[in-house]
Amino acid sequence: MQSPLIKKLIDAFCCLPGVGPKSAQRMAYHLLERNREGGEQLSESLMAAMNGVQHCSRCRDFTEDKTCQLCLSGSRDKSLLCVVESPVDVFAIEATGGYKGTYFVLMGHLSPLDGIGPEDIGLDHLKSLVELEKPTEIILATNSTVEGEATAHFIAEMFKNSGISLSRLASGVPIGGELEYIDGGTLIQSLSGRRPYQS
Amino acid sequence: MQSPLIKKLIDAFCCLPGVGPKSAQRMAYHLLERNREGGEQLSESLMAAMNGVQHCSRCRDFTEDKTCQLCLSGSRDKSLLCVVESPVDVFAIEATGGYKGTYFVLMGHLSPLDGIGPEDIGLDHLKSLVELEKPTEIILATNSTVEGEATAHFIAEMFKNSGISLSRLASGVPIGGELEYIDGGTLIQSLSGRRPYQS
């Protein structure tokens, strides 16, 4: 006989990705038995983030202000615009420290079967942004999946006569990867995209 | 550049068991991108449970009332008392539907190295409960681990001259288990605990 409050908490945990009824139960009992303070803090952080986090008016990334810190920063190169699918992609690219341009976050990819069209991923917004800022290059950094490729293709078509150079992230063997364990599709890409050897 | 609210939420998720920084990030972005309602609900359920769930005055199980529904129920056999380590154990035994006695939840096990002594697992409370209710049998259903065995032994010593019969859960081959894959310790237990064949 589980208390209704515990039952409700276990159900609520199930909304997290990768969490089923068994892990949800473990999480609920762990917090109740050993870390009530952590549970309260999680509750407060959740509420604050769910209510406070919105989309940046320029790049659509998550922010708690009207425009995100990255877009407001004066040190970014506005001639370079990187289009990604999701805020985690911005985070991953920023973590490398090797990119100094700006971003545009689609918050998804084109998926006609799910009813996700160009407006849902903010392509009208992207168009006016490009007209306003006039970048010299747009990097299409959507995922290397079928939907990501289709989305990149659609965006490339949008800007093909604009004079802006369009690029796509390189596909190939990951650094440290062994050819033996790499799938055929990637191997073909890395062969056809081979570069002159530089010592 | 992650918003401070998102950073705080990711840190807060790390307090859950089995959740590291990477899964925490995935959870935070999943809720923000796809399920803000679920996130708010989780926040509310967490706060309600952390503040509302306490220990039953009789069995120490979690409950939101003074005494839990199971202890208040008139249909349970009070001559049988099952001592378990944690509320999840009560839940697991109740889920079988095969036990009609009452419970006592230690909320842990003896662990002198961690400074967890008899009072911390409510053994004084257990003693007065046994004196009050006078069960005819106490089932020592602590885990089959070193600490669980030590705790069972300690409780058995407490009641050895009380005339109450003491029992321990059977150890052996799990139903559906194959001998080939069972560890030696369990196999020895199941050999020494062998029963007359009943067809």
Write out residues 170-189 of B within 8 Å (CB-CB) of A: none
CB contact under 8 A, A17 and B27: yes
CA-atom Rg of chain B in angstroms:
22
DSSP annotation of A76: S
Question: C-alpha distances in angstroms, B17 versus A49, A125, B104?
Answer: 21, 41, 25
Which residues are paired to B104 by β-bridges? B83
Note whether B28 contacts A: Cβ–Cβ < 8 A.
yes
Average pLDDT over residues B124-135: 95
| pLDDT at A108 > cutoff 80 | yes
- Residue A101 parent element (H or E): strand A101-105
Note whether B14 contacts A: Cβ–Cβ < 8 A.
no
Q: B2 and A91 in contact (C-beta within 8 Å)?
A: yes
**If pLDDT is split at 50, 70 and 90, which confidence band does A82 have?**
very high
Average pLDDT over residues A157-171: 91
Q: Are strands B54-55 and B62-63 parallel, antiparallel or unpaired?
A: antiparallel
Mean confidence (pLDDT) of chain A: 91
ipTM above 0.85, yes or no: no
Nearest CA in chain A to B38: A15
Of A25, A33, A88, the CB nearest to B107: A33
Task: List all residues 6 or more positions away from B143 whose beta carbon is below 8 Å from its beta carbon.
Answer: B85, B89, B109
Burial A92-102 (b: 16+ CB within 10 A, else e): ebeeeeebebb
Mean confidence (pLDDT) of chain B: 91
Determine the pLDDT at residue A1.
Answer: 59
**If pLDDT is split at 50, 70 and 90, which confidence band does B1 have?**
low
In chain A, what are the domain boundaries? Answer: 4-52, 68-168
- Tokens 């050999």 locate to B191
Tokens coding B106: 């230690």
CA-atom Rg of chain A in angstroms:
22
Note whether B48 contacts A: Cβ–Cβ < 8 A.
yes
Dihedral pair phi/psi, residue A89, rounded to 5°? -70, -40
What whole-number distance in Å separates Cα of residue B16 and Cα of residue A136?
45
Task: List all residues 6 or more positions away from B139 whose beta carbon is below 8 Å from its beta carbon.
Answer: B80, B81, B82, B83, B101, B167, B168, B169
Residue of A79, A52, A76 whose CA lies nearest to A66: A52
Architecture of domain B68-168: 3-Layer(aba) Sandwich (3.40)
Q: Does domain B4-52 have CATH number 1.10.8.420?
A: yes
